[in-house]
Amino acid sequence: VIELLPVPGLPELAAGDDLAGMIRERVALRPGDVVVVAQKAVSKVEGRVVELETVAASDAAVRLASAGDDPRVLEVVLRESAVVVRHRPGLVISRTRHGFVCANAGVDRSNSGGVDRVVLLPVDPDRSARNLNDALGDGVAVIVSDSFGRPFRQGITGVALGCSGLEPLVSWVGHRDDQGRALRTTVEHVADALAAAAGLVQGASGGVPVVVIRGYRFQPGTRGAASTVMSAERDLFAGGGMSP
């Protein structure tokens, strides 16, 4: 049995807060637990926020902004984008410098802690996960999660931006099926699946940023989630896009 346990009562977070300490105060972690922390909580304690009053929109940002958009937000989106992959009124899909393809380069104004403030993705979500993991102790794994849209299907689901302590991908290559045939190509993104599961507790409203997953037997590992981004050369859908 796998359990998804909310970590209750976390306060609004600010730069420099000891998030790991706050988690340890609220839950008795056990070896084998996976601690899934919403990206926004990580970014806030890491100070990855921008006050829009400090931002001047470039011409490119003004051109991208649709009616109702704040061009200063688009300016931050462009700064966080390596490539604008697609755009249409009200929606910019970027490849970030991390290699993530997501709406608005992960820049988010909702629940940012201030009306004219946006939250950015962590600079290095795998490092963020490792830092939390170091502070949370041995035998525990950490995932920094976010929710992304995807081509072909409506709606967002959880993904792992960063991870520490577990192998994000589990390969069945070389295993055999019930008929003895080798399984050729099956690689599961278990870190994304754990992030999606945690998302059932977190909710898009962000009320529960930290979830403990207990009872899932992960493979210990040291590779981060960055290693699971599909390289553009291997990606059959990577065509198109423009530099910001």
* Segment 102-106 long-range contacts (CB within 8 Å, at least 24 positions apart): 102/146, 102/148, 102/149, 103/148, 103/149, 104/73, 104/77, 105/77, 105/78, 105/80, 105/81, 106/39, 106/80, 106/146
In the bound complex, what is the minimum distance in angstroms from residue 123's beta carbon to a second copy? 20
In this complex, which beta carbon is closest to a second copy, that of residue 135 or of residue 238? 238
In this complex, which beta carbon is closest to a second copy, that of residue 57 or of residue 73? 73
In this complex, which beta carbon is closest to a second copy, that of residue 139 or of residue 203? 203
In this complex, which beta carbon is closest to a second copy, that of residue 40 or of residue 131? 40
In the bound complex, what is the minimum distance in angstroms from residue 134's beta carbon to a second copy? 25
Residues 6+ apart with CB under 8 A from 87: 64, 93
In the bound complex, what is the minimum distance in angstroms from residue 110's beta carbon to a second copy? 4
Separation of alpha carbons 211 and 15, rounded Å? 21
Of 129, 136, 165, 145, the C-alpha closest to 21 is 136
In the bound complex, what is the minimum distance in angstroms from residue 122's beta carbon to a second copy? 18
Separation of alpha carbons 161 and 138, rounded Å? 21
In the bound complex, what is the minimum distance in angstroms from residue 60's beta carbon to a second copy? 19
In this complex, which beta carbon is closest to a second copy, that of residue 93 or of residue 131? 93
